[in-house]
Amino acid sequence: MSGSGTGGRPGTAAERAHTAFPGPVHGNSRGCDPDALSARAGSAIWGGPVRPARKASPVRLTVTTWNINSVRLRIDSVLRFLKENRPDVLCLQETKCPNELFPLKAFAGSGYEHVVFSGQKGYNGVAILSRFPLLSPEMMGFCERPDARHISAVLGREAGPAAGIVLHDFYVPAGGDVPDRDVNPKFAHKLDFLAELRAWGGRRVAGPAILVGDLNVAPLEHDVWSHKQLLDVVSHTPAETEALETLRGEAGWIDAARHLTPEPEKIYTWWSYRSPNWELANKGRRLDHAWVSPDLAGTVRAVTVSRETRGWERPSDHVPVTLALEL
């Protein structure tokens, strides 16, 4: 299930710290069969062991999620962000990079020697970069496709009070342009993916866990620039928003951004490349999310949207979202 991206045992400490998933999809997925998955899913799949209360001085943990839209193409932007912001963990989506070409040395040189990733050439791809060791990496497959859309790992004991927290990194299918599953296979795939994710997650999240990623859904009215105009636009249709909010609510996940900043305040994390002046038009959507398990809700101190990166050279259309916990 895991191993080096290039085969054999790597020679350096930085190389030994990473785990790649080069082969076919592993996990308990059985295609788009939510009923079959529901019978096997349990709450423990989401989280680690419940931790006792701590009385020591609080420690801050920061976890950033960013759909980078090609990690090799935008490696300079990623390294710049890491240098300027120094998150403890960076979760990437849409890396579009085969495992053997993942830029491990560049990240190790920036202090992120612990990396797990699952890649594909030109498509999809997810990765978790950490300043702390990552344990028990896993990748789940959905809808009988060999797509690199999920990876998870557990923070090691070197993370101090954060040790034992399970990190999930997701890249949900975009869904194409037409919000009709009968005529658009991409939209059907997206809805099936969300249904399978709901079944896989089980009833309730247990233990300390964080779920981040590009979920490609703006679930709430004020997560888009115009609720009325986008009701029939993929990413904000009732079918998608209800699916995402249902799976989040059933599992008990807390939407960290809205936990701190309720509606009607607008929050955007994505601005289309198609807009000639994205900043002036400001027609954004909140597609990138950070959720925490209920036991971590009281530790959430900030959710920061790094809007400035959208104006960098050759930017991703998504911007980093950073979750800060005080443990």
- What DSSP assignment string belongs to 193-228? HHHHHHHHH-S---SSEEEEEE-----SGGGBS-TT
Stretch (H or E) spanning 65: strand 60-67
Side chain identity at residue 56, one-letter code: A
Concerning whether 171 is annotated as a catalytic residue, the answer is yes
Q: Judge whether 216 is annotated as a binding position.
A: yes
Mean pLDDT of the chain: 88
pLDDT, tens only, 174-223: 999 999 999 999 999 999 999 999 998 776 888 899 999 999 999 999 99
* Across 34-43, 137-146, 166-175, least confident range: 34-43
Residue-level pLDDT at 19: 66
* Across 9-13, 55-59, 94-98, 273-277, least confident range: 9-13
Residue-level pLDDT at 146: 92
Contacts of 1 (CB under 8 A, 6+ apart): 21, 26, 138, 139
Distance of CA 96 to the CA centre of its chain: 15
Q: Judge whether 85 is annotated as a binding position.
A: no
Whether residue 123 contacts residue 145, with contact meaning beta carbons closer than 8 Å, is answered with no
Side chain identity at residue 148, one-letter code: A
Residue in 169, 192, 214, 223 annotated catalytic: 214
Greater confidence (247 vs 202) lies with: 247
Q: Judge whether 317 is annotated as a binding position.
A: yes
Greater confidence (130 vs 49) lies with: 130
Q: Judge whether 67 is annotated as a binding position.
A: yes
Nearest to 64 by CA among 20, 112, 105: 112
Concerning whether 112 is annotated as a catalytic residue, the answer is no
- Strands 288-292, 254-255: pairing kind: antiparallel
Concerning whether 76 is annotated as a catalytic residue, the answer is no
pLDDT, tens only, 264-308: 999 999 999 998 899 999 999 999 999 999 999 999 999 999 999
Burial of 181 (0-12, 13-18, 19+ CB in 10 A): middle
Q: What domains are there in the chain, each with its CATH number?
A: 13-326 (3.60.10.10)
Residue in 18, 150, 168, 171 annotated catalytic: 171
Q: Judge whether 289 is annotated as a binding position.
A: no
3-state DSSP helix/strand/coil % of the chain, to nearest 5: 30, 25, 45
Residue-level pLDDT at 17: 53
